[in-house]
Every structure is written in structure tokens, then in C-alpha cells.
Amino acid sequence: MPSTQTIAPLTSETPAKNVATRDAYGKTLLELGSKREDIIVLDADLSGSTKTKAFSQKYPKRFFNQGVAEANMMGTAAGMATMGYTVFASSFAMFAAGKPWEQIRQSICIPELSVKICATHAGLTVGEDGKSHQMLEDITLMRVLPHMRVIVPADAVEAASAVRVAAETDGPFYVRLSRASTPVIFSDDYKFELGKGAILREGSDLCIVACGVCVASALDAAEELAAKGIEARIINLATIDPIDTDLVQESAEKCGAILTVEEHQIRGGLGDAVAQAVVHGKPVPMAMLGMDNAFGQSGTAEQLLSHYGLDAPAIVARSQELIKRKA
């Protein structure tokens, strides 16, 4: 495996730019479609929102709208994959992971077919659509499946790179994408590596491990912690499965405490994945920020992250509590 990346994210002097990871997905599909005729795209009647519409217009013979029939979509994707196609299947995360779970297990994961499920509108940041659409259990559902690679990109740059890697790699993938426009963290030359975490900031007082839209909040929290004399190592763990066990265990040994942050249930999500790696290697005090046995509610993405304790101030407060436990 490649060595762990140590990456400097864009600095505060760089002009702020917000882009939704679903937008990067749509643009990357067009790029892939122009290079590979084996790329097929399926959608469950939400192509305008999942950003597959541009592909449907450019390559209509390689796009199939499956209607509001997600289980059928996954079965169709599996069948096409048996013919040698690389198939991207998209819907909102609630419908892409929840409704067709049996078909994903039976028809995609057991035979290890090259179906790439790219689910948009995941997590709390779906916002005003409320708890019915705020999928907070999809990482759990997908990472429990053998052979499924689970990816949660931190920004649009990483999303584009991860989609390319998924297209180039045989077997099933689940790529979790956001509705909300979120800060661009990485420069355009950043390369996603499957199964490898990335150190975005060094520190030894504690390690904050985040994925998806929470990575930007973790970086903001690190700045506030530094002003208080606490140096936090920040890790972007975009690959939830296969997890970068070496990096997690090395961080536990170096920092002596780990905090995980995710817009997902803490049961079965990023926190559980990191805890399993820690307990088998270097047990240290841990805390998990995420949804704890609760559904969401309607509100803006920013309001919800603040209300449920997933913004920078909440990360700072929990980090300080964890430092006391470590001591």
C-alpha cells in the first residue's frame, strides 16, 4: 500500500469557494463518458438533483432512467455489469442505500460486480427536506457488506478523484455525496488514494478524524484549539472501508486520544470503524461526535450542524473534554 499522505489543505489566504460534491460527480461522469464507452449510468428519476442529467443529454444511449424503482435499478446495474460494463447507479442516499439493500447484497456484493453506487443528498446537510430524507445510516448499511468499498469525500476535488478511482477499480463502491455546497479544501492536484487516510494538519495533543463535510469543520476547530495551546492532528478518512488501520493506530500512539466527527449515526459509522481499529492496536481514550440515536429535523445545513454539535465550536468543546480524560 502507498505510504500515508501528508497534505497541506488550502490556506486561509486562498479565496473561499464552496462546491457540492454532487456537482463534482456530475462533471466527472461527463469526463469519464468521453473517454470510456463502457461507462453506463442509471438513475432513479432524480437525474437533475443527482447531477447525472448532463451525462444523459450527452450520452443518451448509455443512460437509463429506472424510475422510482431503486431495487430494480440495482438489479439492472448488476445485470449490465455482468456484460462487462462499469455501471454508475445514482439516487438520494435514503433511496440508494436503504430501499434496495437486499439487491445490493445479493446481486452486487456477493458476485463482486463493478457497480458504483454514487448516492447524493446524504447526511444532515440535506437540510430543509428533514428527517425523511436525511440519510444517517447509510455508512453502517454499506460498510457491513463484504466487498463493498465505502467512500465519503471531504470536498468536490476529492469527490472527483474518488469517482475516477471507483471507475478504474473492479468491484462494488458506495460513494457518499452531499447536497449542500461546502468548502473546497484541496488543490486541484490532490489525488485520492483508496484505503489511505490523509494527514491535513500535524499535532500530538489529540487526533481528530473526520470524513465528508465535517472535515472542513475539523480544520476550523484545529485553528481555535491552537489558539488555546492545543495542537490537534487532523485526519481526513475518506475511505471508511477499507479503513487505514495503520494510520489510525499510529495516530492513537502518537496523540493518545482520538475524536471522530461525522454527520451520521455514531453506531456503525466512522466512529465505530475507527474504534475497531484502535481497540485492536493501541487503545486510547476516544469520543465520537455524530448523531446519537436520533433522527434529524428540517433546517439549513449550518443550523443543523450547529444544533447537533457538529460544527467547529462543538468540536473544540469535545476536544477539550477529551484532553482532560487523556490527562
Residue pLDDT, tens place only, 206-240: 999 999 999 999 999 999 999 999 999 999 999 99
Percent of the chain with pLDDT over 70: 95
Indicate if the pLDDT at residue 133 is higher than 90: yes
Q: Let me know if 70 is a catalytic residue.
A: yes
Domains and their CATH numbers in the chain = 18-183 (3.40.50.970), 195-326 (3.40.50.920)
Long-range contacts of 311-318 (CB under 8 A, 24+ apart): 311/217, 312/217, 312/218, 312/220, 312/221, 312/224, 313/221, 313/224, 314/289, 315/208, 315/217, 315/218, 315/221, 315/259, 315/261, 315/289, 316/221, 316/224, 316/225, 316/228, 318/259, 318/287, 318/289
List pLDDT tens digits, range 50-82. Answer: 999 999 999 999 999 999 999 999 999 999 999
| Identity of residue 66 | Q
For 287-299, how does the pLDDT look when each residue is reduced to its tens digit (9 = 90+)?
Answer: 999 999 999 999 9
pLDDT reported for residue 2: 36
| 130 or 15: which leads in pLDDT | 130
For residue 10, CA distances in Å to 17, 189, 202, 205, 219 come to 11, 12, 15, 23, 11
Across residues 257-265, what is the average pLDDT? Answer: 97
Average pLDDT over residues 99-127: 97
Over 80: is that where the pLDDT of 126 sits?
yes
282 — pLDDT class (breaks 50, 70, 90): confident
Residues 142-158: what's their mean pLDDT? Answer: 98
- Looking at this protein, which amino acid is placed at residue 180? A
Q: In the beta sheet, which residues pair with residue 12?
A: none
Q: Which three cell numbers stand for residue 28?
A: 466527472
With bands split at pLDDT 50, 70 and 90, how would you rate the model's confidence at 4?
A: low
What local confidence, expressed as pLDDT, does residue 197 receive?
97
Average pLDDT over every residue of 159-181: 97
Spot the catalytic one: 31, 70, 158, 250: 70
For strands 173-176 and 149-151, give the pairing: parallel
Question: How far is the CA of 15 from the CAs of 10, 61, 191, 240, 301, in angstroms?
Answer: 9, 40, 21, 30, 21
